[in-house]
Structure 1
Amino acid sequence: DARRQLDFFDASLGRAGGLAVLDYAGVPLPGPQELHTTTRLVHSYGLAQIAGRPDHAGIIDRGMSDLWTRHRDSQHGGYVWSVDSEGVADG
């Protein structure tokens, strides 16, 4: 079941490069990339990699990059809740 779910969530790596929320069919939904989605995917794929399942989609690297370059608030500290193609959607 875990492998099936990871195969499904590989589609979270959106066409624009961010990590997307998926609908029930596995299609990326429009809207901002939320912090909890990014961290959940990085954590889940990290555990899967430790268990021997390769990160075929590059979710870990993309998520870590997004956490450091898009979600992180370098001016005030901490992290913003959501980002979109134009920057901070909800700080």
Structure 2
Amino acid sequence: MLALAAGFVLVAMIGVIAYLDASHQGRPPTDIEKFLIGLMALGGVALGLVGAVLGLAGVVQRYRRRGFAVLGLVLNGLLLLGVAGLLVLGLMVGG
């Protein structure tokens, strides 16, 4: 559930960036726009981290079904891995 919320936040962030890019027509974004984009990015990553920790906690519990915990751990792990990959790609390209 948290992986879906984090993914939604990150996709919404991409939509906001695309809208700002189209509406500004070459003018750089203001400080508040940069702040909101950064806040959305950090919020999505924070949700992914919380989801991964909760998934890990669910996996290590005894006498529980682990299916959803494993699913949450995998989805949140993929989300965090994707964000880390995009961060590395951005550093390599735009350095």
* TM-score normalised by structure 2 residue count: 0.40
Higher RCO (Cα < 8 Å, 6 or more apart): 2
More helix by share: 2
Larger Rg: 2
TM-score normalised per structure 1:
0.41
